[in-house]
Amino acid sequence: MKILHVGWGYPPEWMGCGPVVYVHTLAQAQSGAGHHPVVVCASDRSTDGGPRFAPKALVVDAIPYIHLQNRPSHMHDVWDPGREASDPDCAEAFEYVLKELDPDVVHVHNLVGLSFDVIGAARRFGARVVMSLHNYFPVCTRDDLFFANAERCDGPSSRSCSNCLGTGLGDDAYRRRHRAGVEALNSCDVLLAVSSRVADIYAAQGVRRDLLAVDRIGSVAAEALWRDVGRARVESGSLPRAPLRLVFFGSLTPRKGIVSFLQALRLLAHPDRIEATVHGGASAELVESVNAMIRTFSPAHAGRVVFRGSFTQVDLPGILGDGDVAVLPPRWEDNGPQTVMEAQAAGLPVVGTRVGGIPDVIEDGRNGLLVDEGDPARLAQAIDRLSGDPALVRRLRGGIEPPVTIDEHRVALEHYYAPA
């Protein structure tokens, strides 16, 4: 089967980006199973004097990549929502690639940096079109339905995109973009939501429910963590050491919940029972904001948290192997949070929020604890509960199951790739 994947970014430069890792490892698994995958990527490369979206072929780890170069926007084109909806140059370049490669299936993962025309071009070509809903880009110019980086949003029909983005363009342009995105999605053969909540959100945006299927993705990183760290930890039945070691890892942005985590630490009734380690990069502005918050902590609370800075997937076994519990409280509707899957694969119960894909992975009281988003007091209570009850931590750890492997995921996808 000839499979054409579509996404943003490429290896090795962007292998710190989860979706790039996912598409690359999926293509490798498909190649190993006898299929013929090619990845078309929205590239940050350019050629002097070349046309917009000029294709260039490269090979990485035996996987062919087609870079669409000379793009008008590196990622989100917030000042030109109409171009994201329809860009004739993007459509023409993609049609050229389709004719050259003649794929059986076009599997779209990300349209950031491209335009919705990709889907229409694939439909006109006659390929089966499958789209994985890893983000909310087709219905949200920000791609996260998180208004002004501050609170969850129900989309352009309920909030002002112009105010959210600070463009002053007015809302009609963004609402037209939204309609074009929904129309493009509704022309696909199948839409793969990475969690049940994502399926519900897209249905609420006007996407046909009959096209939506929930399919949890596989992760090579989670497989490795389970093999190297998690299985032995889950099967050991041992109690955690005191103090309880909490781990927060991921992007240190408001939507990922770092501020919520710190607010909860500040409210702990028993700070002496925990040690918290934070791993992740942040802007200078956010670092200053975090430091300002920590200056409001009591000495007993401030001494319990340490920041370790940026990390890569290579560092995860050490980061997670040194922890007892992961605290991952995103504020946005995180589609299919890889950090939660990786923490579980390393044998760590997760304290998380009831948003996005987290409840698909974490069952409250079985393999972790869930609290409502935006309630740091309840988050603090959950942490205090765990730090005072090592047997509960052990029981939650025992409820963790092996992660979905990339090969199991590959097999599941073949069902959706097959003609109806």
For the segment 99-117, what is each residue's pLDDT rounded down to a tens digit?
A: 999 999 999 999 999 999 9
Reply yes or no on whether the pLDDT at 414 is more than 80: yes
The per-residue pLDDT for 287 is 80
Q: What's 96's DSSP letter?
A: H
Look at phi and psi of residue 70 and say left if phi exceeds 0, alpha if psi is from -120 to 50, else beta: left
The per-residue pLDDT for 274 is 97
Tokens at 189, concatenated: 């053969």
Please give the full DSSP string across 265-297, using - where no structure is assigned.
HHT-S-GGGEEEEEE----HHHHHHHHHHHTTS
Residues 74 and 44: beta-carbon distance below 8 Å: yes
Reply yes or no on whether the pLDDT at 50 is more than 90: no
Q: What is the mean pLDDT of residues 157-172?
A: 94
Reply yes or no on whether the pLDDT at 332 is more than 90: yes
The band of 222, judged by pLDDT with boundaries at 50, 70 and 90, is very high
Question: What domains, with CATH codes, occur in the chain?
Answer: 2-218+405-417 (3.40.50.2000), 220-398 (3.40.50.2000)
Rounded Cα distance, 235 and 150, in Å: 40
Residues 121 and 91: beta-carbon distance below 8 Å: yes
Reply yes or no on whether the pLDDT at 227 is more than 90: yes
Residue ranges of alpha helices (H) inside 114-160 are: 117-125
The per-residue pLDDT for 125 is 96
The per-residue pLDDT for 84 is 97
Tokens at 304, concatenated: 């319990």
What are the C-alpha distances in Å from 420 to residues 155, 213, 390?
Answer: 32, 14, 51
Q: For residue 239, how many other CB atoms are within 10 A of its CB?
A: 12
Tokens at 50, concatenated: 């070349």
Rounded Cα distance, 398 and 366, in Å: 8
Q: Smallest Cα–Cα separation from 120: which of 75, 183, 65, 39? A: 183
Q: pLDDT digits over 244-281, tens only?
A: 999 999 888 889 999 999 999 999 999 999 999 999 88
3-class DSSP state of 27: helix
Q: Which range has the worst mean pLDDT, 124-133, 304-313, 317-326, 347-356?
A: 304-313
3-class DSSP state of 248: strand
Residues 307 and 324: beta-carbon distance below 8 Å: no
Question: How does the average pLDDT of the chain come out, rounded?
Answer: 95
The band of 67, judged by pLDDT with boundaries at 50, 70 and 90, is very high
% pLDDT > 70, the chain: 100
The per-residue pLDDT for 16 is 77
Q: Residue 247's beta-bridge partner residues?
A: 277, 326
Rounded Cα distance, 128 and 106, in Å: 6
The per-residue pLDDT for 252 is 86
Rounded Cα distance, 407 and 133, in Å: 20
Q: Which range has the worst mean pLDDT, 52-61, 79-88, 213-222, 370-379?
A: 213-222
Select the more confidently predicted residue: 104 or 419.
Answer: 104
Helices and strands of the chain, counted as H and E runs:
18, 16
The per-residue pLDDT for 294 is 86
Residues 369 and 348: beta-carbon distance below 8 Å: no
Radius of gyration of the chain (CA): 22
The per-residue pLDDT for 94 is 97
Q: What is the mean pLDDT of residues 333-356?
A: 95
The band of 336, judged by pLDDT with boundaries at 50, 70 and 90, is confident
Reply yes or no on whether the pLDDT at 393 is more than 90: yes
Q: Smallest Cα–Cα separation from 387: which of 275, 238, 279? A: 275
Dihedral (C-alpha) 14, 256, 333, 145: value to the nearest 10 degrees?
-70
Tallying the residues shown for the chain, one arrives at: 420
Select the more confidently predicted residue: 16 or 5.
Answer: 5
Instruction: Please identify which residue in the block is written with the tokens 């501050």.
Output: 150
The per-residue pLDDT for 387 is 98
